[in-house]
């Protein structure tokens, strides 16, 4: 069964550096109320440079940047090529200025549309006993 949905982008990445800048569109700015109380956020973004039939049709890859990684389905790795090019980053909130938030550790490119921002909750978002394949321990954090 095939279905569809509508995603409303709530902002975009204006600067992607050590400290990145995310501009939230004015109609969503009120949604930032209370964000400043959190040290970390989860940012969901659209990998706009991978939004084409070729990348959306990729179902298996050998994960790059992880030496010795086996052929894996895109649901078993963090490949940017996937049926829906949705990325996410756990970021540190560095500051706010009106409808702009400044974060570190954002793994998104400039102009990437922002899908959503959620607060990071250590009690629910961290699972110390989680099990992962050995190959994920090699390479950069993802």
CA dihedral 113, 97, 40, 35 (to 10 degrees): -100
> Are residues 117 and 61 located together in one domain of the fold?
no
92 and 27 fall within a common domain: yes
> Are 106 and 117 part of one and the same domain?
yes
User: What whole-number distance in Å separates Cα of residue 20 and Cα of residue 102?
Assistant: 6
DSSP E strands: which ranges in 3-141? 11-15, 19-24, 40-46, 60-61, 72-73, 86-97, 100-104, 113-119
**126 assigned to some structural domain:** no
Query: Do 90 and 24 reside in the same domain of the chain?
Result: yes
Same domain, 38 and 107: yes
In the chain, how many domains are there?
Answer: 2
CATH number at residue 41: 2.40.30.70
Establish if 42 belongs to a structural domain. yes
Residue written as token pair 């200025």? 97
Report the pLDDT averaged over residues 1-8.
84
pTM of the model: 0.91
Count of all residues that appear for the chain in the document: 142
The per-residue pLDDT for 28 is: 98
pLDDT value at residue 1: 60
The residue segments making up the domain with residue 57 are: 52-84
Q: Report the percentage of the chain scoring pLDDT > 90.
A: 81
pLDDT in tens, 90-102: 999 999 999 999 9
Assess whether pLDDT exceeds 80 at residue 2: no
- 98 and 42 in a common domain: yes
Q: What confidence tens digit (pLDDT) does each residue in 60-71 have?
A: 999 888 888 899
Stretch 113-133: mean pLDDT, rounded? 94
pLDDT number for residue 64? 86
* Residues 11 and 72 grouped into a single domain: no
Q: Answer yes or no: do 109 and 93 share one domain.
A: yes
Is the pLDDT confidence value at 45 over 90? yes
pLDDT at 116: 98
Q: Are residues 41 and 99 in the same domain?
A: yes
């Amino acid at each position: 069964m095939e279905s569809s949905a509508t995603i409303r982008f709530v902002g975009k990445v204006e600067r992607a550096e050590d400290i990145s800048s995310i501009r939230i569109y004015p109609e969503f700015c009120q949604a930032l109320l209370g964000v400043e109380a959190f040290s970390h956020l989860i940012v969901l973004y659209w990998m706009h440079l991978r939004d084409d039939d070729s990348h959306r049709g990729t179902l298996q890859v050998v994960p790059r940047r992880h030496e010795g990684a086996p052929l894996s389905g895109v649901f078993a790795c963090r490949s940017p090529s996937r049926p829906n090019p949705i990325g996410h980053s756990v970021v540190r909130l560095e500051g706010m200025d009106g409808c702009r938030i400044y974060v570190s550790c954002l793994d998104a490119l400039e102009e990437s549309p922002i899908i959503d921002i959620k607060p990071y909750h250590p009690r629910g978002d961290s699972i110390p006993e989680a099990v992962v394949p050995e190959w994920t321990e090699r390479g950069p954090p993802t």
